[in-house]
Amino acid sequence: MSTELQPHIQLTSEIKAKYALLPGDPKRVDKVKQHLQHVQDLAYNREYKSILGYYKDIPILVVSTGIGGPSTGIAIEELANIGVSTLIRIGSSGALQDYINLGDLIIATGSVRDEGTSKAYIESIFPAIANHHLVAALRQVAEIQNIPYHMGIIRSHDSFYTDQEDNIDEYWSRRGLLGSDMETSTLFVLGALRGIQTASVLNVVVPSKGNLQTGINNLVEGEKLSAQGEQNQIKVALEAIASIHNKSK
């Protein structure tokens, strides 16, 4: 564990937190605040905004990662350097299946590594999979709280705007993938390589192409559903950490 100030997240091991939530959007850090007690604002450098708070007396870091694998990889490496051992991504996702609704949660069990950051570390044959204890804890909380969720494989990629995006989404949809983001596979691979427990619970904010017209026709309602999904993913992630923490005592 390093005692030095980490250059990007601007944190040190003096924080003494084992658990961290990783939203992509810095604005989501502030939305986690209302679920925590004794919150301290820590740092805001580039895309990395951080706070420390307590949930059921457990110290929890919240650090935004920005968009995509490279900035996420930096956050993971520097959090590992200061002793964080459990990371849960609380991000957004586009749906790849018509039955998945706006505001539903996707608990990713694994991810297609269709991005470059994890490949800079290890060849593509290495799997990107979540920690099964964290996945089980997330699922249990969602079940208990009656929060709509889906569990399975997603795809992580590097661009929203390729010329073949519709064809790519259709290809992976036919193969049963639930959704897509830009960070989860980097999280899972680097977590495995660095000995960190990782999971990803995603809020669906974009419907599948087959469900697009419904999403357009219900734009206002869709915004409400996505906002509720954001609150749900925060609650599920925090309760899962509490569950894992209590079992480790």
In a domain, 170, yes or no: yes
Query: pLDDT, tens digit, for every residue of 3-25?
Result: 899 999 999 999 999 999 999 99
pLDDT in tens, 56-109: 999 999 999 999 999 999 999 999 999 999 999 999 999 999 999 999 999 999
Q: Is 54 exposed, middle or buried (0-12, 13-18, 19+ CB in 10 A)?
A: middle
Average pLDDT score over the chain: 94
Looking at the structure of the chain, the number of domains it has is 1
Q: pTM surpassing 0.85?
A: yes
Is it the case that residue 178 has pLDDT exceeding 70?
yes
Within a domain: 8: no
Two tokens at 1? 């564990």
Q: What is the CATH number of the domain that holds 25?
A: 3.40.50.1580
Do the domain assignments include residue 2?
A: no
Whether residue 1 lies inside any domain: the answer is: no
**Domain containing residue 60:** 13-247
Torsion sign across C-alpha atoms 37, 40, 43, 44? positive
Report the distance separating Cα 208 and Cα 170, nearest Å: 9
